[in-house]
Amino acid sequence: MIDPAKLFLEKINNSGWIEKTSFKEIFSVVSGDDFLQRVDYPCLFGDYVANVEIVVVDGKSSLKFDQEQEVPEDDGQGILNYMFPFVTRTFLRKSSGTFMIGSSVGNHFIIPDHTVAKKHASITKKRHGYYLKDLDSDFGSYVNGVNFGDKEVLLNDGDKLSFGRYQFRFLEAKTLYEHLFGKIKKKSLSSSGLGPVEPITEEVLKTKLSENSQYVANCIVKRDFRDIEDKLLAILSFIPFFNSFTGYEKRQIVSFHQKLIMAAPEEAIVREGDVCNNFFIILKGKVRIVRSESPIALNILGPGNSFGEMAFLMGLPRSAGVVAQESTILFTIDRDFYENIGIEIREKIKDQIIRQISANIIRQNREITEFNKEHRLPISRLPRKTGHYVNHLEKNAAKQVIAQFIEVCPSFSKMTKYQKNGLAVLIEGVRVYDAGEVILQENSLHNGVYFIVEGSVFITVTKQDVVLAELNSGDLFGEISTFGMKTTSANVIAGNQVKIIQISLDDLSVMSMEIREKLKDIILEQILRRQVTQNSAILHFTG
């Protein structure tokens, strides 16, 4: 029998890629364990080609992404039927050096497209993993929607990478196998003499999910949770909410299986105005969010979505009711779970909530813009300034402004003095904008969260600058694009002279876990309030 690993390497073409269908066919004859012994390197997994428009601002070209494009579901197939493995064809083994990415001959990974530079980026294998570095390309290289400029970025399993309009995912070998064939079985049939393992089809996975869900539902009804943890883990593997959690972290979560509840179709899960001490993650089924003053559902949520976070995190009455659309399995997060699960898991839960609320606010922005065809919302009358007028305070003066702001701003009141000092040291400078200057532009990408130190800004949409909100000292912006990993859904324009500090993704990655968690609490509180405000605006239009 021909070694699948050698056959695979022979199939890699001169551009460095192999068709996914060929790769899948070659390795369909081996088990997951055998696959990992043969393929112990990552790959760039082709995802899709984005719809883009090249725009020129102040003489600099950039890509404007189509926000209405329907992106393929995260099913492991995507639109691009090819993948770039991190191997060298000549020596039939991993490369310990640098892989060059670009549109011209001579690169290891060749992407022949007008949005990809001849020498676009490099990915280098180092001691701690693979590092991406953009090579001063015209349109930049992005990791999870963020352009890091010429900084080296350590890649993590599952990261989304963009080179021009081409979208890829960085997948380690185990994740790659599970994308193509499903979960790796613990015991290899081929090693036990029973012949090759049949590839796991999508239909088999759906059937297995249905069986596991039914088993868990029966356990909840009977309140008999014996042998439930493996079934729960299988369900969690299908839910994007838990993708960033390690296997050990997922096991910690499912050990709280007594937090599971079932809701029958049309059953009220929470009622508007109630004061409760928990929130919910949907594992199976659907729910609708409703308000008493409107017959129209505010939203329909499915597996992986959460609800009730605002009442839980801020101690406020429920702002809306939630009704089961169909038979639904929910995981309840209460104070006992939240405070005892550990800071690493708690932080990841907060990350997912921020991303979901960010997606909701983006959707709300579009709905409000659509409803405003009758021009009932105000329009910013400030003349826009298109040049780059941003000033930076002198270093020592900036440090004083930053320290004073963090000390007196109510948003940081729950931080200890030590945590405030630690945060102040990380922030590098203060930016100053004059009235009318565009701080962030709609449909652009940026890196970080911004706090307003002094002054005010308008959040606007469309070229007419329809005002969605006015933010003042202590408020923040930029979190939706940063945590939602998408381009900005609105403009941010200085309403008067405004001073701003930025906390970049690099800052977030190096700060202590305790400071980062407190900072995410601040972000959560502000975007939750913004979501409620915009829900009220939508109800105003529909009512």
pLDDT at 205: 57
Measured CA to CA, the distance from residue 245 to residue 230 in angstroms comes to 16
More confident residue, 267 or 543: 267
Q: What pLDDT digit, counting tens, does each position of 295-336 carry?
A: 778 788 888 888 888 788 777 788 889 999 999 999 888 888
Q: What pLDDT digit, counting tens, does each position of 399-437 carry?
A: 899 999 999 999 999 999 989 988 988 888 899 998 888
Measured CA to CA, the distance from residue 457 to residue 436 in angstroms comes to 9
Length in residues, the chain:
543
| Structural domains in the chain plus CATH codes | 4-181 (2.60.200.20), 205-341 (2.60.120.10), 346-542 (2.60.120.10)
Mean pLDDT of the chain: 80
**Which range scores top for mean pLDDT: 8-12, 35-39, 150-154, 443-447?**
150-154
More confident residue, 143 or 206: 143
More confident residue, 280 or 96: 280
Tell me if 111 sits within 8 A of 50, measured CB to CB.
no
pLDDT at 194: 38
Rg (CA), the chain: 25
**pLDDT beyond 50 at 78:** no
**pLDDT beyond 70 at 477:** yes
- Of all residues in the chain, what percent carry a pLDDT higher than 90? 17
C-alpha to C-alpha distances, 100 to 23, 109, 142, nearest whole angstrom: 22, 6, 16
Q: What pLDDT digit, counting tens, does each position of 175-207 carry?
A: 998 888 876 554 443 343 434 444 445 565 567
Q: Which two tokens stand for residue 333?
A: 């997060």
- Rounded to whole angstroms, the maximal C-alpha distance in the chain is 76
Measured CA to CA, the distance from residue 51 to residue 71 in angstroms comes to 10
pLDDT at 147: 84
Give the end-to-end CA distance of the chain in Å, rounded to a whole number.
69
- Specify the amino acid at residue 543: G
343-371 vs 513-542: helix axis angle to the nearest 10? 30
Residue 204, CB-side half-sphere exposure with 13 Å CA sphere: 8
Please name which of 102, 99, 104 lies closest in space to residue 132, comparing C-alpha atoms: 99
Phi and psi at 270, nearest 5°, equal -135, 155
Question: Which helix (H) or strand (E) element contains residue 329?
Answer: strand 328-334
Tell me if 494 sits within 8 A of 457, measured CB to CB.
yes
Query: Phi/psi class of residue 340: alpha, beta or left (left: φ > 0; alpha: ψ in -120 to 50)?
Result: alpha
Mean pLDDT of 340-349: 84
pTM: 0.58
